[in-house]
Amino acid sequence: MKILVTGATGLIGSQLLETLVTSGHEDIRILTRNKDRYLKTSDFPLEVFEWNPDEKYIEDGALEGVDYIIHLAGESVAEGRWSKSKKEKILNSRIDGTQKLIDEIKKLEKPPKKFLCSSAIGIYGNRDEESLNSESELGIGFFSRSL
């Protein structure tokens, strides 16, 4: 099973990679904006492809033969003040990256079996101990209105 992960250098993605690798998954590749930096700093010998969703670019062959895509990439919500510009970057990074992946998947002779896309749990708002799922009502705030 070949798994492709975007957002692999982020908070969730880096933990996911570690879990996948230590669980014995060997056929993992990632999409990253800076391939050279990843290769110099990573502890895991993975297949690495470059992409730039802002420029609608994915390195050739990145999605070929992939069974599962886990898409976690997007502008960090933890860094910086949420100005109008920052909110625009957060929103556009998720829309543009996801759209580029979908466009590339449509071109494949054999598309992936599954495409998991996760952006943030903020869409449901803070509900304390309430158990939430995809049928739960949206919360209040930026993510609830935007995504």
Architecture of domain 3-146: 3-Layer(aba) Sandwich (3.40)
Residues of the chain above pLDDT 90, percent:
48
Residues of the chain above pLDDT 70, percent:
95
Q: Is the pLDDT of residue 120 over 80?
A: no
Position 137 scores a pLDDT of 84
68-112 pLDDT, tens digit per residue, is: 999 999 888 888 898 999 988 888 888 899 999 999 999 999 999
Half-sphere exposure of 122 (CA within 13 A, CB side): 13
Average pLDDT over residues 39-48: 84
Q: First vs last Cα of the chain: how many Å apart?
A: 30
Mean pLDDT for all residues in the chain: 88
